Amino acid sequence: MRVPGRAASRRFVPALRRPPASAACALLPACLLLVLADPSAAVAQTVDAPDSSLRLDIAGDATVMALSLLALQFPTTLDDSIAWRAPHLRDRSAVNPFDRIATRQWSPAAGTASDVLLWAGVGGVFAASGIEALVHRHTARKWVIQGVVMAESLLVASGLTQLVKYSVRRARPQFYNPAAPASSRDEPNANLSFWSGHTASVAAVLTSFAVVQWLDEPGGPLAWASIVAAGLVIPTVAVLRVAAGRHYPTDVIVGGAVGVAVGVAVPFLHRWKPAGAARTLRVDPLLLQGGSGAVATLAW
């Protein structure tokens, strides 16, 4: 039995040291921001649009994206120094009963389908946002703001995933599955099961897209379509990752939960109210038993 040493680990490092393509491509909206933001916005360090309830903070968002990219890249530089587990087959009884179903799954076709669905989800939300902007003639700033918010959600979820994967270093199900080829256990990536990056990424970007739509176009056709898309695609990717034999049920459940949480939190952190928004104070009479009073209502 061969235990991979430093030389064996190095063989897989070049592919692993590149950030996931789905997260790296999320930088495109950020580049558009730099192109479309005018000098006055750069001085003010904020970008907003008259037809959007979202606002960007250039310095803050750039920092978050940079830290997320660092979280994606830095852990992979430790591959040569981490003592990865020996790639031998193990007793599946060591896996908890809930996750044990994954040790009986192995399907490269399901793995490929999950890859395709991830790419379709990431590319689809940016394409849908662009088409909506053209059809409804939204301002370029609104389109850029929405794109950056979705890209930031994807990058944050991917960065968190990478940090946790390298911290936990959970062996994937193929270590307990005789049907999985031995080569699938002979790489550092085989020890990065928790949590599912596919599920977290697609959940983050689809949830972010849905939240952005409901914040800016509540009740619109695309807002409802985004809910349906998220409800169908996220669990499908999760099931495919388990069926592929690449993740345990707990991996995809936690990954999906984290992705949804990030997809909700990031857009809401970009909400704002224009400084000149109307503020009203209304006082209405209130009849009480044995007397009267008044109710004051302040809106801002």
Number of other residues whose CB lies within 10 A of the CB of residue 63: 11
Which amino acid, one-letter code, is at 209?
F
At which residue do the structure tokens 């928004």 appear? 277
- Which whole-number Å values give the CA distances from 199 to 10, 121, 247, 270, in the listed order? 27, 11, 10, 24
Residue 281, beta-bridge partner list: 298
pLDDT for 181-226, tens place per residue? 998 988 888 999 999 999 999 999 999 999 999 999 999 899 999 9
Give me the mean pLDDT over the 127-143 stretch: 88
Please say whether the beta carbons of 108 and 14 come within 8 A: no
Q: Is the pTM of this model over 0.75?
A: yes
Give me the mean pLDDT over the 276-291 stretch: 58
Strand pairing report for 280-288 and 291-299:
antiparallel
User: In which band, very low, low, confident or very high, does the pLDDT at 276 lie, cut at 50, 70 and 90?
Assistant: very low
What residues contact 228, with CB distance under 8 A and at least 6 apart? none
Residue 4 confidence (pLDDT): 43
- The dihedral sign for the CA sequence 150, 152, 153, 157: positive
For the cut 90, the answer to whether the pLDDT of residue 22 exceeds it is no
| CA separation for the pair 4, 8 (Å, rounded) | 5
Mean pLDDT is lowest, of 30-34, 77-81, 138-142, for 30-34
Residue 51 confidence (pLDDT): 87
Q: Residue 139, SS3?
A: coil
Residue 292, beta-bridge partner list: 287
For the cut 50, the answer to whether the pLDDT of residue 151 exceeds it is yes
Which amino acid, one-letter code, is at 143?
W
Question: Is the backbone peptide bond immediately before 195 cis, with ω within 30 degrees of 0?
Answer: yes
Domain boundaries defined on the chain = 15-299
| CA separation for the pair 230, 162 (Å, rounded) | 23
User: In which band, very low, low, confident or very high, does the pLDDT at 27 lie, cut at 50, 70 and 90?
Assistant: low
Average pLDDT of every residue of the chain: 83
Please say whether the beta carbons of 138 and 51 come within 8 A: yes
Nearest Cα residue to 65 out of 137, 147, 129: 147
Residue 231 confidence (pLDDT): 96
271, two tokens = 């909400």
Q: Residue 292, SS3?
A: strand
Strand pairing report for 55-57 and 291-299:
unpaired
* Three-class SS of 39-80: HHHHHHCEEECCCCCEEEEHHHHHHHHHHHHHHHHHHHHHHH
Residue 78 confidence (pLDDT): 83
